[in-house]
């Protein structure tokens, strides 16, 4: 508690200074200093991997727990059939407790750092004292500052809307999830929402570049600066500054509550935008949007960092169906397609995506969660057959 108090004081000092200085760079030693100097024309989080002598990229594979190995196998089978120039490097990320902290094995860290990219299955969070979520640990270890969550209606799976085409970018490292909490007095606790210009800048710049990259003409910041005038206010003013670097992308803002109401009333007007927002809003809004297309089982994601990026399905390890061949690999497969796009392997991404959507649209070979009777491998085989069409 004493440590968190000290951190909170430091954070408050930083915030106070931020309000006094027009362009603030964190100067206090307790706040992790980050240097993400990005040249204006440079691409944030650009993939730096290179092919080996065999012409293939090596990609770290974290199969994960529960259904993780089954859905990873489907991805591997589909990639082999599609001749994707990728070699998988499987790593174990079973958490270790080191000095009371949850850490990831060094070999896994080195593998991701070397390959710059990883595909990750779901990880069960160990229940017990001392363990923090391994997903959070991965995000912190590799400084994965942006979480990208596309939500697109899938033909063949009926939901209340069939025209959803949303992309959310969530700030992944601070905001309400800075982890700075303390007891003020008995019965009163305080949680600090930390927003820095530096972290805001890089996620916003990424959102603009991402919008340009996928051909969306608009970026919209979702915020609550009417209430959190300083923290969301800083995010918003940073967005206005960054938007000037992107004259070809239209920029506007919307209050979070209004965005929720409008998206659930009619998601169509959001199809031309990338929505970008602080951590907590992104966490909630992205799951809400996943609900619009049929849930987490169909929703991919990418965690983007300066050096490395990790792509993952957002669902959990589904221990209730693990090992029974019932799992749906779609979310992991779609996450891997985002990974291929990040790596510039668009031809393979399109090929696998078309085969996947065609299989879903046909509706003959679906897993149980989508109302079908197919086993995991039968669904994967159906996608493989479509690759050859």
Ligand X SMILES: NC(=O)c1ccc[n+]([C@@H]2O[C@H](COP(=O)([O-])OP(=O)(O)OC[C@H]3O[C@@H](n4cnc5c(N)ncnc54)[C@H](O)[C@@H]3O)[C@@H](O)[C@H]2O)c1
Residues that bind ligand X (CB under 6 A): 67, 122-125, 135, 296-297, 312, 314-321, 327-328, 331, 369
| Position closest to ligand X via CB | 316
Identify which of residues 72 and 115 has a Cβ nearer to ligand X in the complex: 72
Identify which of residues 327 and 382 has a Cβ nearer to ligand X in the complex: 327
**Is residue 168 packed enough to be buried (19+ CB in 10 Å), middle (13-18) or exposed (0-12)?**
buried
CB of 95 to ligand X, least distance (A): 12
CB of 57 to ligand X, least distance (A): 24
CB of 272 to ligand X, least distance (A): 29
CB of 79 to ligand X, least distance (A): 18
From residue 87, give the alpha-carbon distance in Å to each of 44, 52, 73, 84, 192.
Answer: 25, 10, 14, 9, 43
Identify which of residues 240 and 324 has a Cβ nearer to ligand X in the complex: 324
Q: Which residues, including other chains, have CB under 8 Å from residue 353's CB and lie 6 or more apart?
A: 334, 337
CB of 376 to ligand X, least distance (A): 8
Only one residue has tokens 């983007």, namely 304
Identify which of residues 198 and 381 has a Cβ nearer to ligand X in the complex: 381
What number of H helices and E strands is found in the chain? 11, 14
- For the record, the structure tokens of 103 come out as 């850490």
Identify which of residues 11 and 370 has a Cβ nearer to ligand X in the complex: 370
- Which DSSP string corresponds to 25-58? ----TTSPP------TTSPTT-------TTS-EE
DSSP label of 372? -
Identify which of residues 122 and 282 has a Cβ nearer to ligand X in the complex: 122
CB of 160 to ligand X, least distance (A): 20
CB of 219 to ligand X, least distance (A): 26
DSSP label of 181? E
Identify which of residues 229 and 324 has a Cβ nearer to ligand X in the complex: 324
Strand, helix or coil at 268? Answer: helix
The H or E element containing residue 379 is helix 376-387
Strand, helix or coil at 310? Answer: strand
């Amino acid at each position: 508690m004493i440590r968190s108090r000290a951190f909170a004081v430091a954070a408050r000092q930083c915030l106070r200074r931020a309000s006094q200085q027009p362009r603030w760079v964190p100067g206090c030693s307790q706040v992790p200093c980050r240097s993400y100097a990005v040249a204006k024309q440079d691409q944030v989080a650009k993939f730096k991997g290179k092919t080996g002598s065999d012409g293939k990229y090596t990609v770290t594979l974290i199969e994960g727990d529960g259904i993780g190995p089954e859905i990873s196998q489907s991805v591997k089978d589909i990639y082999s059939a599609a001749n994707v120039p990728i070699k998988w490097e499987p790593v174990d990320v079973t958490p270790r407790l080191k000095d009371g902290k949850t850490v990831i094995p060094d070999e896994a860290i080195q593998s991701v750092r070397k390959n710059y990219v990883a595909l990750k299955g779901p990880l069960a969070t160990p229940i017990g004292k001392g363990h923090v979520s391994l997903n959070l640990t991965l995000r912190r270890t590799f400084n994965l500052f942006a979480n990208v969550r596309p939500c697109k209606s899938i033909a063949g799976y009926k939901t209340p809307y069939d025209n959803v085409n949303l992309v959310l970018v969530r700030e992944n490292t601070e905001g309400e999830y800075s982890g700075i909490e303390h007891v003020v007095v008995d019965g009163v606790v305080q949680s600090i929402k930390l927003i820095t210009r530096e972290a805001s800048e890089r996620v916003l710049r990424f959102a603009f570049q991402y919008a340009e990259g996928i051909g969306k003409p608009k970026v919209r910041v979702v915020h609550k600066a009417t209430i959190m005038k300083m923290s969301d206010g800083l995010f918003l003013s940073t967005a206005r500054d960054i938007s000037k670097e992107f004259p070809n992308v239209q920029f506007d803002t919307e209050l979070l509550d209004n965005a929720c109401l409008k998206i659930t009333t009619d998601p169509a007007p959001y199809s031309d935008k990338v929505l970008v927002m602080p951590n907590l809003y992104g966490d909630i809004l992205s799951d809400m949007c996943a609900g619009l297309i049929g849930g987490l089982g169909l929703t991919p994601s990418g965690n983007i960092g300066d050096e490395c990026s990790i792509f993952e399905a957002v669902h959990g390890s589904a221990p209730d169906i693990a090992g029974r061949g019932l799992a749906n690999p779609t979310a992991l497969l779609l996450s891997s397609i985002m990974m291929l796009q990040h790596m510039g392997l668009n031809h393979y991404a399109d090929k696998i995506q078309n085969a996947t959507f065609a299989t879903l649209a046909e509706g003959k070979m679906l897993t149980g969660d989508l109302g079908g009777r197919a086993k995991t491998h039968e669904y994967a085989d159906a996608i493989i057959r479509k690759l050859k069409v």
